[in-house]
Amino acid sequence: MAEDEVTRRRIVVHGGVQGVFFRDSTRDEAERTGVAGWVTNRGDGAVEAVFEGEPRSVERMVAFAREGPTQADVRDVQVSDEEPEGLSGFSVR
């Protein structure tokens, strides 16, 4: 994949998003879509993630985060663009 074909987004998801398999669901979806990055629980109750890959796939991940898994109660998603770092794989931190 050429450098100009890679995009990176950092998201912070607020609401009832911890303890509802948000991180595992995000990892599973990222692996299905071929997106690299990571997802973690934050101390303030939010979930933070970085998605890096083909632009359409990254946008699909952002859309997934806006809904979350069935048990999640997503109230707000902050999205910011970042410079790609060449990540590979997706991890739960």
Asked whether residue 20 is assigned to any structural domain, the reply reads: yes
Spell out the per-residue pLDDT of the chain, length 93, in tens: 454 699 999 999 999 999 999 999 999 999 999 999 999 999 999 999 999 999 999 999 999 999 999 999 999 999 999 999 999 999 999
Residue range of the domain that includes 57: 3-84
* CATH code: domain of residue 35: 3.30.70.100
Q: Which residues are catalytic?
A: 23, 41
Give the predicted TM-score (pTM) of the model: 0.93
Residue 91 within any structural domain of the chain: no
Q: Which two tokens stand for residue 40?
A: 């973690």
**Is residue 11, in this structure, part of any structural domain at all?**
yes
Is residue 76 assigned to a domain?
A: yes
Instruction: Give the orientation angle of helix 22-33 with respect to helix 55-67, to 10 degrees.
Output: 160
Tell whether 90 is covered by a domain: no
10 in Cβ contact with 50 (< 8 Å): yes
In a domain, 93, yes or no: no
